[in-house]
């Protein structure tokens, strides 16, 4: 089922590599140090993790074909994202998940978040990009595997009850899809990220860290 899903909904697209290379260069690189360990949860074709520069890079996905797409130096971990706490064996400084949580039941999401809490380093963050139902409700269920609904408000609440503090919330971080009449170019993506106005912004960005214990 996973392989068929990638063929139907997420076939390999060079434009996706352009997008994630630009997102790394013009946004995410500021949060990742050369000595960090970075984990891409639900990495798919690996466009994000392949773009990252860091000491250790890992891509986790249940899709058995991920080693074909991950660059040399990126460690493939084949298994369910829900089992991240058992599958990842070292502290992670930057955990990333894109367009993943809407595919999970709430029970599975809570288990995944518990696993992320377990593996994050003391300075580690969880970084999430996914459709914001508040702005993408018309297209949200065009993907037949979407089973959960989240807005930037509800997902932040889920994170808080799961033991995280919110670092940053951007309700309109990116357009919903790269499938448009506009060309996918690094220069345009850089301008979009820098703009205070986000036309067609239907994906949110949330950054969170594990809540520190209080006395």
pLDDT in tens, 170-195: 999 999 875 555 567 888 889 999 99
Full-model pTM: 0.90
Residue 24 belongs to some domain of the structure: yes
pLDDT value, residue 48: 96
At 28 the three-state DSSP class reads: helix
Q: Domain range for residue 111?
A: 2-210
At 212 the pLDDT is: 84
- pLDDT interval class at 214 (50, 70, 90): low
Percent of the residues in the chain that have a pLDDT greater than 90, as a whole number: 80
The number of C-alpha atoms within 13 Å of 46 and in the hemisphere containing its C-beta is: 22
Q: What is the pLDDT of residue 6?
A: 46
Using alpha carbons, list the distances in angstroms from residue 195 to 28, 172, 191.
16, 11, 6
Q: Is the pLDDT of residue 2 over 60?
A: no
Q: Which residues pair with 168 in a beta bridge?
A: 207
Element (H, E) at 180: none
The answer as to whether 92 is a domain residue is yes
Q: What is the pLDDT of residue 198?
A: 87
Domain at 40, CATH number: 3.40.50.150
């Amino acid at each position: 089922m996973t392989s068929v899903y990638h063929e139907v909904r997420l076939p390999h697209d060079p434009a996706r590599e352009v997008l994630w290379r630009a997102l790394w260069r013009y946004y995410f690189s500021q949060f990742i140090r050369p000595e960090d360990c970075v984990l891409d949860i639900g990495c798919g074709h690996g466009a994000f993790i392949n773009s990252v520069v860091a000491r250790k890079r890992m891509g986790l996905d249940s899709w058995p074909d991920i080693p074909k797409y991950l660059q040399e130096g990126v460690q493939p971990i084949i298994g369910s994202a829900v089992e991240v706490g058992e599958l990842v064996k070292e502290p992670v400084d930057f955990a990333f998940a894109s367009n993943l949580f809407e595919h999970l039941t709430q029970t599975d999401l809570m288990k995944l978040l518990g696993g992320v809490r377990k593996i994050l380093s003391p300075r580690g963050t969880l970084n999430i990009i996914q459709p914001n139902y508040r702005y993408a409700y018309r297209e949200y269920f065009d993907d037949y595997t979407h089973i959960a609904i989240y807005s930037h408000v509800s997902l932040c609440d889920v994170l808080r009850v799961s033991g995280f503090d919110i670092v940053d919330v951007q309700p309109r971080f990116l357009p919903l899809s790269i499938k448009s009449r506009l060309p996918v170019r690094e220069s345009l993506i850089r301008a979009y990220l820098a703009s205070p106005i986000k036309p067609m912004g239907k994906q949110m960005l949330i950054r969170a860290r594990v809540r520190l214990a209080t006395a």
